[in-house]
Chain A
Amino acid sequence: MATTEAAATTSPPVGDDVAIQILGMHKWYGNFHVLKNIDLTVYNGERIVICGPSGSGKSTLIRCINRLEEHQQGGIFVNGNELTGDLKGIDAIRREVGMVFQHFNLFPHLTVLENLTLAPIWVRKVPKAEAEEAAMSYLERVKIPEQALKFPGQLSGGQQQRVAIARSLCMNPKIMLFDEPTSALDPEMISEVLDVMVELAETGMTMLCVTHEMGFARKVANRIIFMDEGEIVEQNEPEEFFHNPKSERTKLFLSQILSH
């Protein structure tokens, strides 16, 4: 059952080491209760993998963290600031939280370089030359500096996703959210994206990753969260999670995805 690390209060978390705190959070789509009483604390530098069957609410959960989805009850605190209806506050939080999407969502009318420099220039007011220099260094980190002047439509899926990761990093986020980053990729391109994510993990970035890549989870995660039907069913360290799952639902899920 849900292991609660913080008492369910509405007071903001204290301590510098807490990156995200979710307290008694509920979300509904109309009458459908998608997220039920979520309690979760993520510490700085932690790498968390969220898995679960489709429709279990895992994407919705991380989309609540940068308020692409609105929650209706409970509290979400990012770097000590609560997510409320205040638009300025939301934009301030979004600047600190990067997100990588399943379908990349690069801007097709801009070149790769322009995709990377857009937010630094317009949101962080970084001078253009400086933003471009930073962008090139991130493109080198994801190993595609030679594609800088191409348009996203000219790149392969794996390259597009690496550009998307570099684009998020250009904002110097404190937290990175990954929403099934490899699910839309052809099989031979998955590893190039996972390699970049592993390298990112080694830099100490706080990461929340919704994924079905259990090899990646085992290698990188500090903690694995299993969700089903809108609840956090189980969370544990990777070793324990894979070898000694507690709940029946986890066992069933693991047997389904690890059987082949």
Chain B
Amino acid sequence: MTDNSFVRTESHPDLPPPVRHTGIIRWMRQNLFSSWFNTFLTISSLYLLYRIVPPFLEWAIFSADLSGSTYQDCTSGGACWAMVRVRFDQFMYGFFPTTERWRVDIGFLLLFATAIPLMIDGIPGKKYLAIFVFAIYPFVAFLLFHGGFGLEIVDTAQWGGLMLTLVLATVTIVVSLPLGILFALGRRSEMPIIRMICIGFIELWRGVPLITVLFMGSVMLPLFLPPGTNFDKILRTLIVMALFAAAYMAEVVRGGLQAIPKGQYEAAQAMGLSYWKTMGLIILPQALKIVIPGIVNTFIALFKDTTLVLVIGLLDFLSIIQSATTHKNWLGTSTEGYVFAAAVYWIFCFSMSRYSIRLERKLDTGHRN
């Protein structure tokens, strides 16, 4: 008769993994050469990179021209960055008067100096920074960019370039998020009139292309206003773009609201929290966290959509570059112009995307129940 019972008296020691299962060789085996098809893809990708990257570097860096005042001065066969260098100030400020450009610099420096610390952990006094950025800065910025109180008035028609792009993007982003949240809450409201108004608003704006909306704002809206009222073009564009973005934002936020379990509402209600406190303290912090990728996605799309204002004659960053490359001195430099524009847009959009990833990690409070 055999004894089937067994009691372990000591634990098995940890052993190192077999050599072929660690390190770079294992990684290459698994990721690059795991099958004949994968090997084929790896080799063809390497070949493609070889055909693309060195010529591009040659064009963009090694044989590029930085100096010169017309396209004819660019003789080395590479990119003619001289165009960007000569027109750089215009790309940044549009037709903002040269003597007043320090105001734009200060305006954006002030924004970066206050908004960036707001995004970094462990910086004291964030409450005051936030109050400044959201409540005081808009007025300061308006004063700096537009003028008044002793500063020379700069008509918005002279705004342009990256400055205009950033103004459009920042204002639209900052206005559309809270507005979108309100519409999302309204769409889920139990009050039929509010719900219907919100659904109507969202569906109306989502159903119309942004270009159409921009045309309506710039061409048709003035027809409905009493004659003589001069409603600033950039202000009209801002309103139209913010409302358009709010409709998209509302649907993103609604997705987050739907992901919150009913128990969260019930727990909040059972403790006597009012509707707004339930939303502000319990539901929205969780819902917005879930939809950070969607929100940032909308922000990025919005940032790039600001280029569409060129159809109503505003000279944003892209259109001012375009107009520079069609100037008689610089005919033939449109590739350089678009590559430069692409690089600048990419830097802004990529930064937003990185920040969103950091924010997601920071707000991750472990597995949910």
Q: Mark A55-94, 1 if CB is under 8 A from B, else 0.
A: 0000000000010100000000000000000010001101
CB-based contact A119/B368 at 8 Å: no
Residues of A within 8 A of B264 (CB): 105, 107
User: Is residue A216 contacting chain B, with contact meaning CB distance below 8 A?
Assistant: no
Residues of chain B with a CB closer than 8 A to A123's CB = 271-273, 277
Whether A122 pairs with B281 at a CB distance below 8 angstroms is yes
Given A105-B264, A106-B267, A109-B363, are A153 and B274 also a contact pair (CB < 8 Å)?
no
CA distance A171 to B271 in the complex (A): 8
Let me know if B366 and A94 touch, CB within 8 A: no
Smallest Cβ distance from A113 to chain B, in angstroms? 13
Residues of A within 8 A of B4 (CB): none
Asked if A241 is at the interface of the complex by the 8 Å CB criterion, the answer is no
Q: How far is the CA of A85 from the CA of B274 in the complex (A)?
A: 14
Residues of B within 8 A of A253 (CB): none
Instruction: State whether A101 touches B266 (Cβ < 8 A).
Output: yes
Query: A68 — nearest CB in chain B belongs to which residue?
Result: B266
Interface positions, chain B 267-296, Cβ under 8 Å from A, are 267-274, 277, 281-282, 285-286, 289
Nearest-Cβ distance from residue A124 to partner chain B, whole angstroms: 8
Interfacial chain B residues near A107, Cβ < 8 Å: 264, 267-268, 282, 286
In the bound complex, residues from chain A placing their C-beta under 8 Å from that of B273 are 91, 118-119, 122-123
Instruction: From known contacts A107-B264, A109-B289, infer whether A94 and B270 are also in contact, taking CB-CB under 8 Å.
Output: yes
The answer to whether B286 and A106 have CB atoms under 8 Å apart is: no
Q: Pick from B266, B367, B368 the residue with the most CB of A within 10 Å.
A: B266
Q: Does A174 sit at the interface, judged by CB under 8 A?
A: no
Q: In the complex, how many residue pairs between chain A and chain B have their CB atoms under 8 Å apart?
A: 80
Could you tell me the distance in whole angstroms from the C-beta of A175 to the nearest C-beta in chain B? 12
B365 touches A108 (CB 8 A): yes
Chain B residue contacts of A143, Cβ below 8 A: none
CA of A151 to CA of B369, assembled, Å: 11
B274 touches A105 (CB 8 A): no
Instruction: Report Cα–Cα, A95/B271, bound state, in Å.
Output: 6
Q: Is the CB of B365 within 8 A of A68?
A: no
How far, in Å, is A257 (CB) from chain B's closest CB?
A: 26
Report the contact-size class of chain B (Cβ under 8 Å from the partner): 20 to 34
Q: Does B150 contact A (CB under 8 A)?
A: no
CB distance A105 to B365 under 8 Å?
A: no
A105 near B368: Cβ-Cβ < 8 Å: no
Of the candidates B271, B289, B366, the one whose C-beta lies within 8 Å of that of A119 is: B271
Interface residue? A226 (CB, 8 A): no
Q: B residues 314-369 with Cβ under 8 Å of A? A: 363, 365-369
The answer for the CA separation of A211 and B269 in the assembled complex, in Å, is 22
By a CB distance below 8 angstroms, the chain A residues around B282 are 107, 118
Q: Which residues of B contact A87 (CB under 8 A)?
A: 274
Q: Is A138 an interface residue (CB 8 A)?
A: no
User: Is B23 located at the chain interface by the 8 A CB criterion?
Assistant: no
Report which of B271, B289, B369 forms a contact with A94, defined as CB distance below 8 A: B271
Query: For residues 219 through 276 of chain B, which have their beta carbon under 8 Å from a beta carbon of chain A?
Result: 261, 263-264, 266-274
Q: Chain B nearest CB: distance from A159 CB in Å?
A: 11
Chain B residues with Cβ below 8 Å from A118 are: 271, 273, 281-282
Give A170 to B289 CA distance when docked, in angstroms. 27
**Cβ contact of B270, chosen from A66, A104, A122, A152, cutoff 8 A:** A66
Shortest Cβ distance from A256 into chain B, in angstroms?
Answer: 28
With both beta carbons as reference points, the residue of chain B lying nearest to A94 in the complex is identified as B272
User: Judging by beta carbons under 8 Å apart, are A68 and B369 in contact?
Assistant: no
Complex: A97 Cα to B270 Cα, angstroms: 8
Contacts of B274 in A (CB 8 A): 87, 91
CA distance A218 to B267 in the complex (A): 28
Give me the 5 closest cross-chain CB pairs, A-B, nearest first. A153-B366, A105-B267, A105-B263, A119-B271, A94-B272
Binding site for B on A (CB under 8 A): 66, 68, 87, 91-92, 94-95, 97-99, 101, 103-109, 118-119, 122-123, 151-154, 160, 167-168, 171
Interface residues of B (CB under 8 A from A): 261, 263-264, 266-274, 277, 281-282, 285-286, 289, 363, 365-369
Q: List 23 interface pairs A-B (beta carbons < 8 Å), by A numbering.
A: A66-B269, A68-B269, A87-B274, A91-B274, A94-B270, A94-B272, A95-B271, A97-B270, A99-B266, A99-B267, A101-B263, A105-B263, A105-B264, A107-B282, A108-B286, A108-B366, A118-B271, A118-B281, A151-B365, A153-B365, A153-B366, A153-B368, A167-B271
